Amino acid sequence: MDMDQLAHFQCVAELRNFTHAAERLSISQPALSRSIQRLEEELGQPLFERKPRSVDLTDAGQLFHSRAEQILLILEDCKAEICDDGQSGRIRIAAIPTIAPFFLPNLLRTFSDAFPKASLIVQEDTTDNLMRRCKQGELDVAIVALPVPTKYVEVESLFEEELSLVLPCNHPLAKKKQIRISDVEHYPFVLLDEAHCLSENITSYCRQRSIQPVAMERTSQLVMVQELVTLGHGVSLIPEMAKKLDQSTRRIYRSMHGMKPTRTVAAVWNPYRFQSRLLREFREHLRAYSEAFVQQ
């Protein structure tokens, strides 16, 4: 039995389709069929129930699926551990879209300077997906905003940052010295899609003050929110890291008076996977960088 066969099996088990699995594995469909056949022969039991439009896992297949998973994880961690020299290696990093473009580039650059042999793989996804992929071992570190479900993962808060009110220059509130949340209650809000946790941060902040923000428009990128605000479509709350990078003179940021809205940025990882020296270095770098970041 070959480890490749296990990977083949896992792929078919996941996609429930030989043709698609063969494509993803970059082998021909007959080769994959035979690979699974050999496996079934060795185990003395069919692993799939072939149906005209798709395939299903048999009971034996179900069992083998979880065992193959274990074996492949052990092997992957073992390889990483054996090759762990503290310098080279791969780190898969991901962040949510409201953090990634404002926080990652400089973080990655500085880490890359310190560890030039490290290969950094960067991705962007929603909190839910990041958590799932962390648990499944597809990611080494995720950078998210709290709160997140902490089951099966380790969570470390990095820093808390303010959400500032962003206004077009000519907005009535722009002249006001102190702006309270109640002042913006009746202005329309520009928010991100529900998929983004920043929307949740903002609405929960408002809800605690018995205010219901009127979301006029929803978009999928923070820079788009900023632009729509500039065009007078409404106001919004923008994290400090995005404010810092904003070069535009056509909108202004104001710190809210009273209890300021904030969000907490945190690192998440799967503690059951092998933690390479490089990965621990990265997390250390991330801590130090975060500390410096809030003091800029």
Partner DNA sequence: TACTAGCCATGCACAAAACGCATGGCAAAA
Partner DNA sequence: TTTTGCCATGCGTTTTGTGCATGGCTAGTA
**Amino acid, single-letter form, for residue 152:** Y
Task: Tell the smallest beta-carbon distance from residue 82 to DNA (Å).
Answer: 18
Closest CA to 172 of 58, 288, 252: 252
Residue 63, contacted partner among its own copies, DNA, none, CB below 5-8 A by kind: its own copies
**Amino acid, single-letter form, for residue 189:** F
Cβ proximity of 68 and 44 under 8 Å: no
Does residue 36 bind DNA (CB under 7 A)?
Answer: yes
According to CB under 7 A, which residues from 53 to 72 bind DNA? 53-55
Please state whether 91 falls in left (phi above 0), alpha (psi between -120 and 50) or beta. beta
Eight-class DSSP state of 260: -
Which of 3, 14, 24, 37 contacts DNA by CB under 7 A?
37
277 vs 169: CA distance, rounded Å: 49
Mark 14-33 with x for binding to DNA (rule: CB under 7 A) and - for no binding: --xxxx------xxxxxx-x
Closest CA to 196 of 218, 212, 211, 216: 218
Please say which residue, 52 or 172, places its beta carbon nearer to DNA: 52
Which of 14, 24, 50, 277 contacts DNA by CB under 7 A?
50
Cβ proximity of 118 and 107 under 8 Å: no
Residues in contact with its own copies by the rule CB under 8 A: 1-4, 43-45, 60, 63-64, 67, 70-71, 74-75, 78-79, 81-83
Please say which residue, 55 or 142, places its beta carbon nearer to its own copies: 55
Give the footprint of DNA on this chain (CB under 7 A).
2, 4, 16-19, 26-31, 33-38, 48, 50, 52-55
